[in-house]
């Protein structure tokens, strides 16, 4: 099957649960032979963005952004010699969430998650290790507006379970919508399973 067909959604789907199960299976097929997180997150953002655009269970074309913010420590460090970049400058930076693979219009590139400085839905989902469903972004304290057309949003943390039973949040999965209450609890359940699949299909 051509890769682009992975996001095709059958017209006969009756429930959101069926929609998310279909998207999950398609994504599983797409990610099964790749463990690089940049590649996997890129195709995941594209698949979910296009699947929601074709979904008979969602308002048509209201999902305007689907993408990832990943903790900065997981990005490659600049390949400059210590003589040109003092080591302290690199090590003293606060850890941030940095813009990762996405589909949609350009978005803010970094989000502060440091104590006392954090703001926004992504940072809250990251710190709380819980999904945050926002029916009206204007009513959410600290919401960071990347696109004035966005009216609602959902952010799901990407949680990696370690062998010793602990867990680490590697980043967040963020979806924006131009309608109020564009996502609901069923979407949240589906997206949390997708987030698990993406995390467990990739090396971090
Ligand atoms: N609204 C997010 C920022 C990211 S954009 O939606 C793509 C927030 O409040 O964290």
Whose CA is closest to atom 6 on ligand 1?
A: 146
What is the SS3 assignment for 127? helix
| Spatial separation of the C-alpha atoms in residues 122 and 150, rounded to whole Å | 15
pLDDT of the chain, 204 residues: tens digit per residue:
667 776 677 888 999 999 999 999 999 999 999 999 999 999 999 999 999 999 999 998 899 999 999 999 999 877 766 665 555 544 445 789 999 999 999 999 999 998 888 899 999 999 999 999 999 999 999 999 999 999 999 999 999 999 999 999 999 999 999 999 999 999 999 999 999 999 999 999
* Ligand 1-lining residues (CB < 6 angstroms): 65, 107-108, 111, 120-122, 143-144, 146, 153, 174, 176
All structural domains of the chain with their residue ranges: 15-75+95-200
Among the listed residues 49, 45, 58, 46, the one whose alpha carbon sits nearest the alpha carbon of residue 19: 58
User: Separation of 9 CA from ligand 1 center, angstroms?
Assistant: 27
- 15-75+95-200 classified as CATH 3.40.50.1370: no
Whose CA is closest to atom 3 on ligand 1?
A: 144
| Residue 162, burial from CB neighbour count under 10 angstroms (0-12, 13-18, 19+) | exposed
| Spatial separation of the C-alpha atoms in residues 198 and 68, rounded to whole Å | 11
User: Separation of 32 CA from ligand 1 center, angstroms?
Assistant: 29
């Amino acid at each position: 099957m051509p890769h682009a067909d992975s996001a095709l959604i059958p017209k006969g789907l009756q429930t959101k649960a069926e929609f998310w199960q279909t998207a999950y299976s398609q994504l599983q097929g797409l990610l099964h032979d790749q463990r690089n997180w940049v590649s996997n997150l890129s195709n995941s953002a594209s698949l979910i963005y296009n699947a929601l655009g074709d979904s008979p269970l969602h308002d048509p074309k209201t999902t305007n952004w689907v993408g990832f913010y990943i903790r900065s420590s997981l990005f490659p460090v600049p390949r400059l010699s210590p003589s040109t970049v003092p080591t302290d400058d690199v090590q003293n930076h606060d850890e941030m969430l940095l813009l990762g693979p996405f589909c949609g219009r350009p978005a803010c590139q970094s989000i502060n998650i440091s104590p006392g400085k954090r703001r926004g839905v992504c940072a809250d989902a990251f710190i709380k290790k819980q999904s945050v469903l926002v029916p009206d972004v204007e009513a959410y304290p600290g919401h960071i507006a990347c696109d004035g057309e966005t009216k609602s949003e959902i952010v799901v943390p990407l949680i990696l379970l370690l062998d010793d039973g602990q867990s680490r949040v590697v980043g967040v999965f963020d979806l924006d919508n131009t309608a109020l209450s564009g996502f609901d609890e069923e979407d949240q359940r589906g997206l949390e399973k997708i987030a698990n699949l993406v995390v467990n299909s990739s090396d971090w």
